Amino acid sequence: MAIRNLRFEGDPLLRKVSKEVKEITPRIKELVQDMLDTMYEDDGVGLAAPQVGVLKRIFVIDVGDGPVTFINPTITLKEGEQTGSEGCLSLPNKVAIVTRPNHVVCEATNVDGEKFTVDATELFARAICHEYDHLDGILYPDVADGPVVDVDDLED
């Protein structure tokens, strides 16, 4: 178990486009495990490799049904719409309203090198879109419907 240091908004690395993973080496597997450990440590539902300073096209998601690792993902279908609040471990204690597709199909490779397809709706679809954006240097404030606000202010 290893927790990696998170990168936060303002770090130029978060704005770079990540590169395809050419081979799933033991180092990649270790990275994925560390990403999961880091995500769970901070109670996140998703984490992308650039958020731990690695510019590779990898993200992990757990919306409550167990971890799913996406290596070299492609989103092959986006349809419908959902509007709701969204946060990110790289912008701690902040949220904004973001409209995302309500249904996506995403193809990717797992840590064993096997290709798989997920058909995701609601929170899972939102998480895939959010994490995929990280791989292209996009953060949710870029695509939000309104301002980014402090979580604390919402409770007042």
Q: Known catalytic residues? A: 131
Q: Least distance from C-beta 139 to Ni ion, angstroms?
A: 7
Which is nearer to Ni ion, 88 or 108 (by Cβ)?
88
Give the integer Cα–Cα distance in Å for 91 and 147.
13
Nearest residue to Ni ion by CB is: 88
Which is nearer to Ni ion, 90 or 109 (by Cβ)?
90
Closest CA to 104 of 72, 136, 128, 70: 128
User: Could you write out the three-class secondary structure of 81-102?
Assistant: CEEEEEEECCEEEEEEEEEECC
71 bridge partner residues: 58, 109
Contacts to Ni ion by CB under 5 A: 88
Q: Least distance from C-beta 105 to Ni ion, angstroms?
A: 21
Which is nearer to Ni ion, 24 or 95 (by Cβ)?
95
